[in-house]
Amino acid sequence: MQRSSQMNTMPQFYLGLLLVGLFAFAHSHHVPDHHEDHHLHHPAEDHSDLPSSKIASGNTEFALKFFHQLVSEGADTNVFFSPLSISTAFALLSLGAKCTTLSQLLSGLSFNQTEISEQEIHKGFHHLLRLLNRPNAEIQLSIGNAIFTDDQVKPLKKFLDDAQHFYETEIFPTNFKNSTEAEGQINSYIEKKTRGKLVDVVKGLDPGAVMVLVNYIFLKAYWENPFDYQSTREDDFFVDEQTTVKVPMMNKNSIFETYYDQDLSCQVVKLPYKGNASALFILPDQGKLKQVEDALGQDVLLKWSKSLKQRRIHLYLPKFSISGSYVLKGILTRMGITGIFTDQADLSGITGNPELKVSKAIHKAYLNVHENGTEAAATTVIEIVPMSLPPVIKLRHPFLVYIFIDNIIAFMGRVKNPTET
């Protein structure tokens, strides 16, 4: 959208966008109201016609595209992020986008606007957020949003109402004229919501910021069949042909859902959590990591999910903790989301005037995998097994990991070196 010379003389306001993804072991105390619980489904039911199912394909496609961007830029590093956190935050932002900015944003999030309407997208996220935030005795998950806004801007009532209705967004008055005070308020919110796992996330708040959007996602889960702490032993992990590091290696002789992909030369192992979540570990053969990464797509994930079969294996899995921190502007620009970062941005749905643009977008995520899942609690499991030797699957070189919740990719990553945190 072109700006007139008069428009260019207006004071330039900036919209800061902050994304926070977390996989950590702490307790969630967020309990939603349930006036729409009759719209939610039981995991065992067929829910192909529910609102959240309409955005599932787009969310998966976005997750894979974002992953491909990250691995293409960091060939020798760990990667970990929450595609669900990022897509939710930008879908919330799209409530205020208009014209080209809106279509570009939704396309960048991998939503085909000839197949799904803007309203259906927001209804899909609304249903998904309520579904994921339901209290569950076996898995604890919370995902939420907040808008911090200064009195320098007057958000439209419709924007705030839609943000609260579709994305259950909390609204906080914030004095951005005092950047130190604003940073403290935002960081305090993030630290509280992530139970102290992410602190001082916001550093160097843009001096022109008048609004900040925050998304957080938080999970606590236990393995359905935990590893025995007493069986964990130090072992070698082969980062590459020249580098070997020592890692605490968990191991378990048990029944797992597995599949060996002959075409891509990789081993797939599914580890269920209690509740409706699971982790998928993909171990490429030596030297085949890039081949597997390049081939990743929805068709490959579908093939793997349909091909998994239960069998007894002896699984070796590193006990590890990794994190990811990303400045999103460059990544999203290469994915086609460009307008919101420029003076041509049309976010007039926020205030009624095209005076806002996104100046910064960051994302942080954290993962800790250990014997009991995602909580430091002791347990001993004794299994009676046949004496015949089962196949051995040993994750001793770089591998991929996906965390699924209700068949949605909530987190994904690549572990190149489990000792680098």
Is this prediction's pTM over 0.85?
no
- The whole-number pLDDT of residue 279 equals 86
pLDDT in tens, 252-287: 999 999 999 999 999 999 988 888 788 888 999 988
Q: In which residue ranges of the chain is CATH 2.30.39.10 found?
A: 229-318+378-415
Q: Which two tokens stand for residue 420?
A: 């680098």
Q: What is the DSSP string of 240-280?
A: SSS-EEEEEEEEEEEEEEEEEETTTTEEEEEEEBSSSEEEE
The CATH code that applies to domain 229-318+378-415 is 2.30.39.10
Residues of the chain with pLDDT under 70: 1-48, 74-75, 137, 373-392, 399, 421
Per the prediction, the chain carries an average pLDDT of 79
Task: Tell me how many degrees the CA angle 179-181-186 measures, rounded to the nearest 5.
Answer: 90
Handedness of CA 248, 252, 256, 262 (dihedral sign): positive
Per the CB < 8 A criterion, the answer to whether 113 and 107 are in contact is yes
* Radius of gyration of the chain measured on its C-alpha atoms: 22
- The whole-number pLDDT of residue 198 equals 76
What's the helix, strand, coil split of the chain in %, to 5?
30, 30, 40
Per the CB < 8 A criterion, the answer to whether 189 and 212 are in contact is no
- In the chain, the N- to C-terminal Cα span, in Å, equals 43
- The whole-number pLDDT of residue 49 equals 78
- The whole-number pLDDT of residue 154 equals 87
- The whole-number pLDDT of residue 27 equals 29
Which fold, 14-221+322-367?
Antithrombin; Chain I, domain 2 (3.30.497)
Q: In which residue ranges of the chain is CATH 3.30.497.10 found?
A: 14-221+322-367
CA 7, CA 352: separation in Å to the nearest integer? 14
- The whole-number pLDDT of residue 48 equals 61
